Amino acid sequence: MTTKLRAFASAAAATFLLAAGSAGAAVFVTTTPGPDVGPAAGESFQINFDGPSLPAGVTIAGNGGVTTTGTAPLGDATPFLVTPLDGDSGSVEVRFADFLGNRDVSHFSLYWGSIDSFNTLQLFDRSANQIVTLSGATLLGDLATGSPTDPSANRRVFFTLTGDSQNLGSLRFTSTSPSFEVDSLGFAPIPEPGLWALMLVGVGGLGAAMRRQRGTLARRLA
C-alpha cells in the first residue's frame, strides 16, 4: 500500500492525516509532549512491558526487546521496548491481534521516547499487509532530535483509525541507528456486533424498568 500524508499544522503541533492505499482508510495522528500522559480514554487493552511476561496473545519478534538500561523515554522509570537490542540498526514487531480477540481497533496510542528522524513506525493489518508508515522526521521535522530530556522529542502519539485501517494486527518499530524506544501501548477494540446488541437490549430493559417504576410511583401519589 502507498501512504499519502497531509499535515494540518506545523511539525511542532504534529497533527497529521495518514491516508492508506485502500479506499476509505485513513489514520489521524496527534501528539502530546512528554512526560507521558498515558493512554486515552477507552484504551483499556494495554501493553506496558512491566511484568515478567507479556500479556497472553502478545508476541515480539526481531532485533529488539524489553530493557531497563539505555536511554529511557522522558519520565519513564519502568521497563520499555527498544530496537536495536544489538548492533547499530534493527527492527522489532509487536503482534497483538489475539490479545485483542481479533477485533478491529478504533484508536490506539503509545509513548515514543527520544524521537529520532531515523525512527520508523509501520502499522500492519491482521493479514500482515502494511497500512501506513510514519517516521520520526515526518512526525516532528527538526524537533526529532533524539533528546531524552526534551519534552518535544518524547511524545504520547495518538492514532485514530478509520475504514480498513481498523483491521490492525501489529506494529513494527525500525531504527537505522541506535535507537527506537517505546512504552505503554493502549488499544480501544471495537465491540463485536453481538455485544452491541446485548448492550442495546440492556439499555432498553433499563429504560422500561425506569418507566414502570415512575408509573408505580405516580399511582401511589395519586
Select the CATH number that applies to the domain covering 4-190 from these four: 3.90.1640.10, 3.30.1330.10, 2.60.120.430, 2.160.10.10.
2.60.120.430
**Measured between alpha carbons, how far is residue 14 from residues 69, 105, 116, 129, 179 in Å?**
29, 22, 14, 25, 21
Q: pLDDT tens digits, residue range 16-37?
A: 788 776 667 899 999 999 999 9
List the chain domain ranges: 4-190, 193-222
pLDDT of residue 117: 97
Let me know: does 107 contact 116? Beta carbons within 8 Å: no
Q: pLDDT tens digits, residue range 69-121?
A: 889 999 999 999 999 998 999 999 999 999 999 999 999 999 999 999 999 99
Whole-model pTM over 0.85 = no
HEC secondary structure over 3-67: CEEEECCCCCCCCEEEECCCCCCEEEEEEEECCCCCCCCCCCEEECCCCCCCCCCCEEEECCEEE
Q: pLDDT tens digits, residue range 168-194?
A: 999 999 999 999 999 999 999 999 875
Average pLDDT of the chain is 86
User: Which phi and psi (to 5°) does residue 32 adopt?
Assistant: -130, 130
C-alpha grid cell, residue 218: 405516580
Amino acid found at 57: G
Determine the Cα–Cα distance for residues 160 and 91; give it in Å rounded to an integer.
24
Helix (H) or strand (E) holding 211: helix 193-221
Q: pLDDT tens digits, residue range 112-159?
A: 999 999 999 999 999 999 999 999 999 999 999 999 999 999 999 999
Determine the Cα–Cα distance for residues 180 and 1; give it in Å rounded to an integer.
24
- Beta strand spans in the chain (E): 4-7, 16-19, 26-33, 45-47, 59-62, 65-67, 80-83, 90-95, 105-113, 119-125, 130-135, 155-162, 168-175, 180-189
How many other C-beta atoms lie within 10 A of the C-beta of residue 209? 10
Strands 168-175 and 119-125: antiparallel
